[in-house]
Amino acid sequence: MQVTFIGLGIMGSRMAKNLLKNNIKLTVFNRSPEPVQELVKQGASSANSVDEAVAEADIVITMLSSPEAVKQVMLGDRGGLASMKERALWIDCSTVNPSFSREEKQAVDTQGKRFMDAPVAGSKPQAEQAELIFFVGGEEPDLLEAEELLQLMGKKVIHVGEASKGTSFKMLVNAMLAQSIVLFSETLLLGEKMGLDQDFLLKTMPGLPVVAPFVQAKTDMIRSGDYDTQFSLELMYKDLHLASITAYEYQQPLYLANLTKELYAHATQNGLGRADFAAIHQFLSEKKQRYG
C-alpha cells in the first residue's frame, strides 16, 4: 500500500512519524520544507508538488489547518484530488465544518474516487504517542480498508456514520473543550479573588467530578504561565467559528459557544493566538487585573 500524507504541522508531522515507525511506504508533502526534510531522514519520500505526491497513492491523508487550506491544496482544477488514482481513498483528518465535508464528498464522487472524514481527538502528546481517537464519517468498506492504518496513529477508531458525521462529532467535542477551559479559568480566578490559594485550587479542583478530565493536563501551564502549544488558541477560535457557521446553517442557537468564540477572538487579537488554547486563562487573568 502506498500512502501519502499532506500537512505536517504539530499534529500531522507526528502522525506521519508513527506511520514510518510501522514501516508504511510513505510520501509526504507540506507547503513549508522543514518538516518534510525531517521525515525524509526517517525514511519518507518527498514530492515537489501535491500532484506528484498523490499520483501513485492508494490512500491520501490530509491534516490541514482550515477548510480554506484543504480547498487550496486538494480541490479545484489544480488541487491534489484531480491527480489521485481512480478509486483511491482520501482521508481528511482536518477539522472542518460538516457542510464543507459534504462538499469534499461531492467533489470526490464526481471524480470516481473515495472519501472519509476522520478528524481526531487529542493534541500534540497524543499524536506523538499514537493515542489519538479518530471520528470517522464514511462508508463501512472504506473504513475496513483504512482502519489498521488509522490504528497505527491512534488508540481508537469510532465510526460515527456517513461522510461528514465524523466532522460533525468533532465539532461538538471542540466546542465543549473551548468552553470547559473558559469555565475552569473563570472559576479559578474567582476563587483567587476570594483569597483561596491558587496552588490549592489547581491541585484540588481538577480532581472533582464537575471538572472536565482534560483540565488536569492544563494545570501545569496555568501554574507556570508557560503555554507551550499543543493545540493553538487561534485554531480553537477557528473551530468555534466553524461551529457558529454550522449552527446558523441549522438555525440552532449557540449562546455560550458564541460568547466563548468572542473571548478567543479577543485573546487572539491580544497576541495569544499561537499559544496553547489554555492561554485563555492568561487572557482572562489579565482582564481581571485590569478591571479589578
- Give dist(CA 162, CA 147) in Å, integer: 15
Strand partners, 92: 62, 117
- Give dist(CA 125, CA 10) in Å, integer: 10
Sequence-distant (6+) residues with CB within 8 A of 269 are none
CB 205 within 8 A of CB 184: yes
Per the residue annotation, which of 170, 218, 238, 261 is the catalytic one? 170
CB 178 within 8 A of CB 155: no
Assess whether 170 carries a catalytic annotation.
yes
Q: Nearest to residue 168, comparing CAs of 180, 158, 154?
A: 158
What amino acid occupies position 27?
A: T
Sequence-distant (6+) residues with CB within 8 A of 2 are 25, 27, 56, 57, 58, 59
- Give dist(CA 196, CA 152) in Å, integer: 45
Alpha helices in the chain (DSSP H): 10-21, 34-41, 50-54, 67-74, 98-110, 124-128, 140-151, 165-193, 198-204, 219-224, 233-250, 255-267, 280-291
Dihedral (C-alpha) 269, 272, 273, 274: value to the nearest 10 degrees?
A: 150
- Known catalytic residues are 170
